[in-house]
């Protein structure tokens, strides 16, 4: 009850300070408002941008490792591209070998990509991403089907000319009609549509989208293109267990099996790369950590100014209420009572500035930045309130301590 009374009285004193000199208080709180706005606005933008990018890269999958020629994490001016380029392509035989022998994967698949033009009557769609997949592709990657169905195992094994298409292709080739069961052509061969992917919408960056993609059985793809050791290089992908330890164990297992399959000697280096989707995600996360740090620096200066403003208000408040403090102490008020009273008042004043800054951030979330959707998260709201409360405590501790140490007799006489 004492604590509740303390908080209530502090709120009343803070409101009185606001009313007594509204202009001075608003100008003093402006620094906290601008500082919290700068920090939370940067964090909101960074979080929204990071989530949008990661959603755009969802085609990489979660806990997925792929066997490729090139290393995703390597790059720069000294990158030995010639060494990676000379590496052999994956083969279907290697896929079946890994599928039959790998024990630490929840799923394993093989797929190959190419760009094609899809035709239906007088309509065509250029720059389409064609992917040939095995039946286990859905065990590694999400394949959201809007209408229709995925391939059956019989269709995959017998290399049927069936196809899944994206919504943009469906709308372009078959406007105002149901595409299921319709016929289209790729490189002169006829295909029958059995399904349409769920619509993904516009991405922030130019990343692969299923809206403009088509998918066929892997065997059917090999009838269109030369795939394997001397043709297009397919990728072998596998889904690891949820924990990092499971993915590391899978990496070691696959490395050992593939080295044995390719007949590499112990002294020879790997002629393949095991790429994890986390490589790109971690790189993106580190970039945004730097941007977040810049947001702290930018907002920190404003908060510093705001902190001095709060301290100034509290020093003035202590000066104006010196006689009241003397009366409270003469009636038995303890030092901690006076201390907490002014600390709560400083926190409340700082919170007003913090809430104003968070409200301004909330208003900018209604601004549409292309395909980027700004979202003020609950975590950022708590962060803003926590920082503003901390600034209030730090700014009010010195004047509150001075108030608590006042001699009651001298305080009363000061009036």
> What is the structure's pLDDT at 201?
67
Residues in CB range of 33: below 8 A, 6 or more apart? 306, 353, 354, 356, 357, 360
Give me the sign of the Cα torsion angle 273, 278, 284, 289. negative
Which of 44-53, 146-155, 310-319 is modeled with the greatest confidence?
Answer: 146-155
Greater model confidence, 78 or 181: 181
Q: What angle do CA 167, 169, 172 make, to 5 degrees?
A: 110
H-helix or E-strand spanning residue 283? helix 277-320
Location of structure tokens 């950022």: 380
User: Could you tell me which residues are beta bridge partners of residue 130?
Assistant: 114, 214
* Pairing outcome for strands 273-276 and 64-68: antiparallel
Instruction: pLDDT band for 310, please (50, 70, 90 cuts).
Output: confident
* Burial (CB count <10 Å: 0-12, 13-18, 19+), residue 355: middle
- How far apart are alpha carbons 314 and 394 in whole angstroms? 12
> What is the structure's pLDDT at 84?
75
Residues 297, 19 contacting (CB under 8 angstroms): no
Greater model confidence, 13 or 173: 173
What's the mean pLDDT when you consider all of the chain?
A: 81
320-342 per-position pLDDT tens digit: 777 877 777 777 777 777 777 77
> What is the structure's pLDDT at 151?
93
> What is the structure's pLDDT at 1?
66
- How far apart are alpha carbons 172 and 303 in whole angstroms? 54
- Mean pLDDT, to the nearest integer, of 396-407? 83
- Mean pLDDT, to the nearest integer, of 251-259? 88
Which of 58-72, 102-116, 240-254, 344-358 is modeled with the greatest confidence?
Answer: 102-116
Helices then strands, counting H and E runs in the chain, come out as 14, 10
Three-state secondary structure call for residue 194: strand
- Mean pLDDT, to the nearest integer, of 245-267? 85
196-216 per-position pLDDT tens digit: 998 876 655 555 577 888 999
Instruction: pLDDT band for 17, please (50, 70, 90 cuts).
Output: low
Greater model confidence, 305 or 362: 362
66-116 per-position pLDDT tens digit: 888 877 666 556 666 777 778 888 889 999 999 999 888 888 999 999 999
Three-state secondary structure call for residue 183: strand
Residue 55 has pLDDT above 70, yes or no: no
Residue 407 has pLDDT above 80, yes or no: no
């Amino acid at each position: 009850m004492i604590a509740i009374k303390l908080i209530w009285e502090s709120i009343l004193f803070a409101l009185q300070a606001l009313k007594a000199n509204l202009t001075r208080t608003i100008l003093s709180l402006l620094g906290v408002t601008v500082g919290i706005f700068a920090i939370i606005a940067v964090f909101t933008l960074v979080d929204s941008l990071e989530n949008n990018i990661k959603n755009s890269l969802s085609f990489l999958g979660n806990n997925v490792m792929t066997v490729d020629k090139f290393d995703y994490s390597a790059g720069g001016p000294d990158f030995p591209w010639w060494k990676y380029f000379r590496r052999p392509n994956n083969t279907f035989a290697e896929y079946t070998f890994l599928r039959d022998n790998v024990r630490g994967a929840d799923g394993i698949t093989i797929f190959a990509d190419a760009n094609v033009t899809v035709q239906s009557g007088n309509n065509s769609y250029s720059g389409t991403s064609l992917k040939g997949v095995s039946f286990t592709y859905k065990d590694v990657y999400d394949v959201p089907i809007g209408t229709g169905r995925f391939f059956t195992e019989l269709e995959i094994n017998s290399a049927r000319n069936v196809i899944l298409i994206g919504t943009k292709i469906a709308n372009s080739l078959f406007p105002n009609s149901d595409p299921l069961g319709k016929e289209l052509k790729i490189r002169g061969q006829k295909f029958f549509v059995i399904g349409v992917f769920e619509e993904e919408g516009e991405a922030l960056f130019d990343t692969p989208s299923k809206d403009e993609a088509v998918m066929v059985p892997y065997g059917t793809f090999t009838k269109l293109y030369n795939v394997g050791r001397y043709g297009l290089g397919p990728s072998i992908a596998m889904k690891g267990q949820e924990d990092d330890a499971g993915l590391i164990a899978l990496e070691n297992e696959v490395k050992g099996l593939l080295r044995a399959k390719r007949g590499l000697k112990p002294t020879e280096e790997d002629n393949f790369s095991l790429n994890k989707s986390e490589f790109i995600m971690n790189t993106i996360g580190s970039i945004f950590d730097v941007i977040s740090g810049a947001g702290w620096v930018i907002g920190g200066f404003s908060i510093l100014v705001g902190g001095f403003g709060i301290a100034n208000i509290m020093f003035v408040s202590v000066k104006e209420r010196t006689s009241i403090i003397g009366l409270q102490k003469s009636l038995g008020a303890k030092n901690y009572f006076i201390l907490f009273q002014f600390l709560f008042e400083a926190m409340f004043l700082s919170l007003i500035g913090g809430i104003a800054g968070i409200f301004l951030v909330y208003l900018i979330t209604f601004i549409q930045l292309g395909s980027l959707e700004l979202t003020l998260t609950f975590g950022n709201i708590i962060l803003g309130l926590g920082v503003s409360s901390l600034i209030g405590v730090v700014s009010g501790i010195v004047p509150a301590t001075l108030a608590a140490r006042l001699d009651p007799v001298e305080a009363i006489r000061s009036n």
